[in-house]
Amino acid sequence: MARLGAICGWLAITWVLLGAFTSSPTPAAGGGDAELATVASEARQVIAVINWFYLRHRACPQPSRPGELAILEGELGDGFSATQRDWFVEIRGISMTGSWLYYTSARYPDRCTLWRELGQNATLIWRRHDGGRWTFEPGDGGSERPIKVAPVQAGMGDK
């Protein structure tokens, strides 16, 4: 009888763990902007570097230019990588729970986009055009909507 109880206990634990690993937490599922802001905070270093580059060059870093890609990766610092993936750059960092994709067009060098797929086709997007804006695309056929995220400030560090 004790053995049956132990087996049932292990099955229950396995069931809970399986659920935790197979369900993907999508902030759109009900947590709202606070959860999205937490995910967005992972990109603060990348956005700070893009803004720094923009202030000096009046353009976003172009992934098609190896020198600018090297500057982007170098300024991100230790623990970050920027890898060319076709037209995009995949950015990973030790402070990120997933990779972010970056894109800018040579035709519109003052505009660039950074985004992260959240699961179930939901996407968190930051666009630099006339400043920076965050939006959320739910991936369920619903409209993309703006969200409020605290701006990245100079000297913010990892706070």
What are the extents of the domains in the chain?
A: 27-147
User: Which residues have CB under 8 Å from 122's CB, separation 6+?
Assistant: 26, 27, 28, 136, 137, 138, 139, 140
CA atoms within 13 A on the CB side of 89: 28
Contact 26, 122 (CB under 8 A): yes
Using only the alpha carbons of the chain, give its radius of gyration.
20
Render each residue's pLDDT in the chain as its tens digit; 159 residues: 454 444 334 333 333 333 333 333 444 444 567 889 999 999 999 999 999 999 999 999 998 999 999 999 999 999 999 999 988 999 999 989 999 999 999 999 999 999 999 988 999 999 998 788 999 999 998 899 998 887 655 444 333
What pLDDT score does 46 carry?
96
> How far is it, in rounded angstroms, from Cα 63 to Cα 66?
7
Alpha helix positions (H), 63-134: 66-76
What pLDDT score does 16 carry?
31
What pLDDT score does 122 carry?
95
Contact 98, 91 (CB under 8 A): no
What pLDDT score does 131 carry?
80
User: Which residues have CB under 8 Å from 76's CB, separation 6+?
Assistant: 45, 46, 49, 82, 91, 93
